[in-house]
Amino acid sequence: MLTWKEVINFSVKGNPTPDKRVEKTEAEWRAQLTPEQFRITRHKGTERAHTGELCTAYDEGKYNCVCCNTPLFDSTIKFSSSTGWPSFTQPIKENAIKYEKDTTFGMVRVEVMCNTCDGHLGHVFPDGPEPSGLRYCVNSESMILDKEIA
């Protein structure tokens, strides 16, 4: 189970190696994604709070990256944070997520991205429920819910 200290270490000292890499040109991403998905995942945008369709979805399944279909989060670790974005306590695998220090908007935060394709997902905060204490605050537009459980 990842802790805040490990998240900070990844953001400062380097991220775990992903299982694979997916790299495409901006034109290829633009052709594949909706304009909103492209704005959020490729240009570090955010959706308005309480507008994403996955915010209140609690169906069983895996939340995969909308860009490369890499599994990121499992429905069993999703929780209601009342923040207006889907929230999770842990990634599905330690190396599924990439972490970077984000100092935009006069704040210091930790940005989370898909470690396979560098798609922007959202941010992680140390104010989640125990036992991890983590809250991955993720844009609905950056994920797809795969309801097929293996």
- The catalytic site residues sit at 137
Q: Strand pairing partners for 71? A: 64
Q: What is the dihedral of CA 145, 16, 120, 149, to 10 degrees?
A: 0
Contacts of 130 (CB under 8 A, 6+ apart): none
Contacts of 5 (CB under 8 A, 6+ apart): none
Q: Which helix H or strand E contains 4, and what residues bound it?
A: helix 4-13
Q: Coil, helix or strand for 52?
A: coil
